[in-house]
Structure formats: C-alpha cells, structure tokens
Structure 1
C-alpha cells in the first residue's frame, strides 16, 4: 500500500466554494491561504470539487492557488438544458402546438414518473419541486436525457428546427446570440462553459 502514494498526483478538496439549487458561493482566495500553502510542501496538486458556476476570475485564482484540477459537471449539463429549453421556446413560436416536440413537458413527466434521481435532493412543496426539476443548479434533469421518451422528443425538436440559421429575433429573445442553427445553439451554450475553464487554465502572460 505505501507504493500507492507514489501514483497519487492530486488530493480532492472543497476550498470554501459551493453551489446549491439557487445560489453560488464564490471562491475567496484569502480564506484558503493556509490550504493553498500546504500543498506547496507536497509533491501533489489539488483537485477542487464543485467548481461549477464559478466566475472566470474565481477559476483563475483557483488555478493560481494550486487547485490545478477543476472538477466540473452540472454546469455543463445545465448549459445543455438551457439550450434545449431555449430551442423549445423558439419551436413554440414557429410551429403549431400539435407539431411541437413538447420536450419540456415530456422531460418533466418522465422525471415525475421516475423520481429516483431527484426526489431526495429537491425539498419543498410540489411547486418548489416542479421549479427545481427544471431550473435547479444541481441539474438532476441530466439523468433523464437518455430516457427513450425524452430522446424521441429531442429528435423531433431538432428535426423541426432543421439545420438553417434560426430567425434573428427569436435567437436574440431566447438565446442571446444570433446567426445560429439549433445544433450551434447547443454547442455555443456548452462552449461558453468550457471557455471559462480554458481561460482560467491558460498561463498568465
């Protein structure tokens, strides 16, 4: 077992940052000074847990303070969910109700029918839980995109919207970036999250 330590490159820590259903606690370098200095005497680095939704400056400070591995997950799937919901709203404006994918409602119906991935995490009354199923930063909806019913609805959504750029006014209203097709909307939303991490990990010049 002692030899196992020779293969360890990082220690997982959570240096005072956190997020919940509807809040984000940003990283504060001054409050993590002792933790940051400790690893300087070791042959390892830190992996920072729960870095999702941290602003760019906070991510840069984490890297500078030896938290070189930035664990991220829900903020990526949250961005995907945002993109799909935006596309569904655009779809509602362009197609008759009986032609629409109804993906937002179908996703929620599936989550209600199979609550094992969210029930113990989303507290509150029925209205609170309904809101969190859609919009919680913990994004428990990420476990449901692979469900057959949701996949069919997603396929219908993408088929309806096609590969041509979507109307400028609708992209401006629901996405915030223009001259994109449906696939590019999803890529753009997720790419923004990746860009935040990429910038944080670049060597300061």
Structure 2
C-alpha cells in the first residue's frame, strides 16, 4: 500500500472514530439527562438525538469500510438518508414532526427529539452523509462508488465548515432559503469530519 493510500485509510479511520465518539456522546447525553454531553461541552443547545444516532452509525460504518467490511456501512447510510428525507417530506407536507422524531421521542428522558435534527440544512447533510455511505457500502461491485462518495463528502464537508464558520464569525447566509447557522456549532464540525471521512 502506497503512502497516499495509507494516509487516506488513516484519515478515514480517524474521522469514523471521531464521528462514532461524538454520536455516542450525544446519545448518552440525551439518555442520561445531561444535555451538556449532547452539546459536546460547548455553549448553546445540544445536538439533536436523531443526528447523534446517525453520526454514531456513520462512524461505525466508516470504520467498517476501513477494515474491509463495507456492507456494515449500509445501516448507517440507510438511517441517515431516511431521517433526512423524512424531515424534508415533513416540511413539504407541513407536518410539525416527522415519524422518526415521534418514534424516538419516547426514548428520551429530557425532551422529545430536538428540532435541530429536522432542520433544512441538517436534513440535507444527513442525506449527503447517507448517500455517501450507501455508495461505499456497495464495495467493489460499483467502480464509481469512490468518486460519488468523494463528491458527496466534499459537499458535506463544505456545508459543515460553512455553518461552523458562520458560528465563529457571527455571519450568516440570510439570502439562502435556509440559514447555515441553524445547525449547531458542534454538529457542523461533526458533519465536516464525516465528509472528510467520505473523502478518505
């Protein structure tokens, strides 16, 4: 294996581990009744429960891909895509909460599934993440999987970094139909890391 390939594998594994750790922190924070854990100890609202679960599964999937088990990334990809598309459909239909939020709401001790998980930008990022994982989960059966996943990863990383930049600078793209800073700071960083994992 060349040095470039080893670096790519190392980056993908590191990004996967980071996403899995962050997702575990978020889910653990909601279930333990400590929202500060779900916000990764940063000031501001916590990351949404559904986003945390999706990032946890995505991180596990990225690690599985590194170890030559790409099909294990399929559950995370399917979950992230379903949550993202469900949020989009709920907004288009004018529904206050989608089915996934209702499904997981009873599992939380502190509050129902956070609305941040269902925001427009977060929904788009979840769909990008899920589609990238599904592409990689096809393994060698799909020769185009790498460029497709890389393109989706680049878009995901760009959105994540843009939303994080908005938080750091106080600037916001108010001309868009969505607000980039509607995604929490820690969530944007996590999505950017996941995007870099898809690039790796």
The verdict on a shared fold, with TM-score over 0.5 as the criterion, is no
Q: Which has the larger radius of gyration?
A: 1
1 or 2, which has the higher strand percentage? 1
